[in-house]
Structure 1
C-alpha cells in the first residue's frame, strides 16, 4: 500500500495566499476615473428606487431601494443595497463571476513612475494592463476566469531590470503536429493562468509587476472591427506555500447554480447562473511538516486562496479558487503523513 501511494504521487500541492490589493499598490491612471461605471453618489441628488451610484472612496456600487436624499449608501443599508465592486476593482473583490470586461473599462497608463509607459498600455478594447508596485514579498500570481488570447506577467526591480517575464497562451497547441491535426484536433482553451516562481520583493514604487491580458495578436494593434473584448474575473497575487506531494487522483467537481424547471407539459426552462469548482486532493507530507501545514490550513479556513498541484497542472485546468472545506491528516509512518484536502470554490 505504501508503494502504491508513492507511485501515484506527482507534483507538490501549493496554496497561493493573497495580498490585499489597495490603492497604495494598485496603480491605475484612468481618464475618466469611472469610465463605464455609475455616477458618484451626491448628497444633493434626490434618488428614487432603482437608481445606481458608486462611491469611489469605498470602491463599491450601490442601488437605491427607496426614495431618499442625503442618505449615504455606506451607512444606510435600509435605503441602499451594495451590488458589488466598482469596475476598476472587480478583479480584486473575491468573486470569479464578477468579471471586468474591456468593452466597458479600458486601461490608460500614464503615470511617469511606471516602467515601460507609452503606446504598449494605450486604451484599447482587446487589452488590459494592471500595474502594481510596493507589494512586498510575493512569488506567484493567478489570473482567473479570463477570456483572453494570452496573459503576460513582467516583474521590474527598483533598478528597472526585468527579472521575470513570462507569457502564457490560452490555446494549447501541443496537439498540433501537422496540417491535419491543426484543422481537426481539439485544442484545449484555458481560462485560468498561474505564474509561479516570480521571486518578487520590494516596498518602493520602483518595485513593479505588470499583469497584461489581451485578446489581440502579438505586438500589433487590432483593427476596431476585429476587436474581441477581453474579460477577467480575479487577479490574486501572493505567496505560494508548498503543502506536499499531490497524488494523481485529484478530483474537480463542477457545481452549477442554474435554475431548471419543468412544467406540467414537460417543457424545460433553464435560467443560466454562475457555477463554481470544488476540488478534492490527496496529499503526502513529511510528518515533521504536519503541524505547520495543519496550522496553515486552519488560518486559511475563511480566506479564499488558489490551490494547485503545480504551475503546469494549474495551467492545464487543475486549479481551484476557494476556501478550505475539510482537512484531515493521518500518521502512516514516522517519515510520512497522508492528508485529504477538500476545497470549496468561489463563484
Structure 2
C-alpha cells in the first residue's frame, strides 16, 4: 500500500466542456444602484460580490473591495472547483459537469459531498472507455434483520474513483447524485495520482480548532465557532536510492492543495484522507538501505 495524492488540474473556461450549475445572481451593472447586502456576480472575475452599503452606484466591485463591495467567493460553476471545500455548492437536481483533458488523469474525487452516489464516465470521442458509479451511503452497520430497521443509513461525504487512465483527447464527466435528487458538494477535483513509498503503521491525526472563547468581566463565556483543520502525518518507507527523487516530487506539491490518501477503498469507507497542503517532510535514512519518511499534510478535510 502506497501514499497516493490526487493532484488537482485547474478548471478553466478552456477545459470546462459543460455543466448544469447556473449562478442565479444578477450580473453587476455600472448603472444600477445597489442596497446594502445585495449580491451580484461578475462573470469576467468568476466572483460574487456583496454591496457593503446602500446607494452603491458605479463602483467596480474588484476595484472597491472593502469600501463599496465585499468579496463573497467564486460564483457558479467555479465554486465547485475553487480549491475551497468549505464553499458548498447546493443543487435541487443532480450535478453534471464535464471536462476535457490536456494531461494525464487517473483520479476523480467529490469532497464534502451529500448525495446517494457519485459517477465518473470517461470518453474517447463518442466512445465510453470507463463508467463507474460509487455508492456514497454507508450500510456497513446493517448486519442483520434487526439492524436493517433500527440503524439509520449514513452518507459518506467523500467519494474517490482512481481505477482508470485518461489523457489528452479524452473527456471526464462527473455526476453527483441521481436525476431529481437534491445534492451538494464542496469540491470536485480530477488529475494525476502520483504514489509515494510503502505505507507503514503509525498514521496520526490532529484536529486543530480555530474557534475562540471570550470571557466577560462577570465570567460569562462565549464561544465563537470558526473553521478547523485536520492535520495528518503519513509515515512511509522508501529505498535510500529513491530518496532524492521522492523528495523532489513531494517538494513540487507544496504550497498547493491535493487529496492525500492510502487507497480509494479506505478513504471511501473510513474517511481517511486529507485534502490540504504538504507542510513538512522528514526523512531518516538507515544503514539497511531504507529511509523512514514522515509526510505532514495540513488538511481541510
What TM-score do the two structures reach when normalised by structure 1? 0.77
1:213 matches 2:206: no
- Corresponding position of 1:343: 297
> Secondary structure in 1 aligned to 2:109?
strand
Q: 2:118 aligns with which of 128, 147, 151?
A: 151
1:76 matches 2:30: no
Aligned 8 A contact 2:19 2:98 in 1: no
Gap regions ≥5 residues in structure 1: 1-10, 103-124
1:157-181 alpha-carbon deviations (Å, 9 max, x no partner): 12x2222222111223344342123
- Corresponding position of 2:168: 202
d(CA) in 2 for partners of 1:101 and 1:69? 30
1:62 matches 2:62: no
1:142 matches 2:109: yes
1:332 matches 2:295: no
1:172 matches 2:138: yes
Alpha carbons of 1:190 and 1:262: their partners in 2 closer, same or farther (altered >3 Å)? farther
- Corresponding position of 1:279: 232
Alpha carbons of 1:265 and 1:68: their partners in 2 closer, same or farther (altered >3 Å)? closer
Shift of 1:128: 1.1
Alpha carbons of 1:320 and 1:84: their partners in 2 closer, same or farther (altered >3 Å)? same
Aligned 8 A contact 1:304 1:346 in 2: no
Aligned 8 A contact 1:325 1:343 in 2: yes
CA RMSD of aligned residues (A): 2.5
d(CA) in 1 for partners of 2:101 and 2:293? 36
d(CA) in 2 for partners of 1:235 and 1:131? 11
> Secondary structure in 1 aligned to 2:79?
helix
d(CA) in 1 for partners of 2:120 and 2:281? 32
- Corresponding position of 2:147: 181
Q: How many residues align?
A: 298
Gap regions ≥5 residues in structure 2: none
1:51 matches 2:38: yes
Aligned 8 A contact 1:97 1:274 in 2: no
What TM-score do the two structures reach when normalised by structure 2? 0.88
- Corresponding position of 2:128: 162
Q: 1:237 aligns with which of 177, 181, 190?
A: 190
d(CA) in 2 for partners of 1:298 and 1:278? 18
1:114-139 alpha-carbon deviations (Å, 9 max, x no partner): xxxxxxxxxxx241111112343211
d(CA) in 2 for partners of 1:290 and 1:236? 28
Instruction: Flag the structure with higher strand content.
Output: 2
